[in-house]
Homo-oligomer: A and B are copies of this chain.
Amino acid sequence: MNKGHSIETINFRSNCPIAKTLDFLGDKWSLLILRDIIFFGAKTYSDFAKSPERIPTNLLSQRLKKLVEGGLLEKKAYQNNPTRYEYLATDKCKTVKPVLLSMKKLGEAIF
């Protein structure tokens, strides 16, 4: 696995909680996956695939794995034969919502 795609392999640059958040979530996809879960009820790969930004499948799977390891998402089988999984927000994930809402306001202010 490539460095930075798993929470265990993150080299935190400092103890600053903002820097740590960026080390963990500061890529172009993780927060969009969480946006889709928190605001649009996305749960499955096909839900995520519907988003206009079109995340590549390999990046989606890496990011979901990392978000599960980081305790922000829970992976649950919702079907057998074949087994299919859905991704649900954990309680910890609630702290992401204010980040997304403030980013929305920022985006509306600067673009």
Contacts and interface: CB of A to CB of B under 8 A. Distances in A.
Query: Of residues A16, A27, A108, which shows the largest number of chain B Cβ atoms within 10 Å of its Cβ?
Result: A16
Interface residues on A, range: 35 or more
Contacts of A102: 95, 98-99, 101-102
Copies of this protein chain in the complex: 2
Given A17-B104, A22-B32, A28-B26, A110 B92 contact: yes
**DSSP class of A's interface residues: helix, strand, loop or mixed?**
helix
Interface in A68-111: 70-72, 92, 95-96, 98-111
A71 B98 CA distance: 23
Interface of A: 12-28, 31-32, 35, 51-54, 70-72, 92, 95-96, 98-111
29 contacts: A12-B111, A13-B28, A13-B52, A14-B51, A14-B52, A14-B53, A16-B107, A17-B106, A17-B111, A18-B32, A18-B35, A18-B103, A19-B32, A19-B35, A19-B53, A19-B107, A20-B107, A21-B104, A24-B111, A25-B106, A26-B26, A92-B109, A92-B110, A95-B102, A95-B105, A95-B110, A98-B102, A98-B106, A99-B102
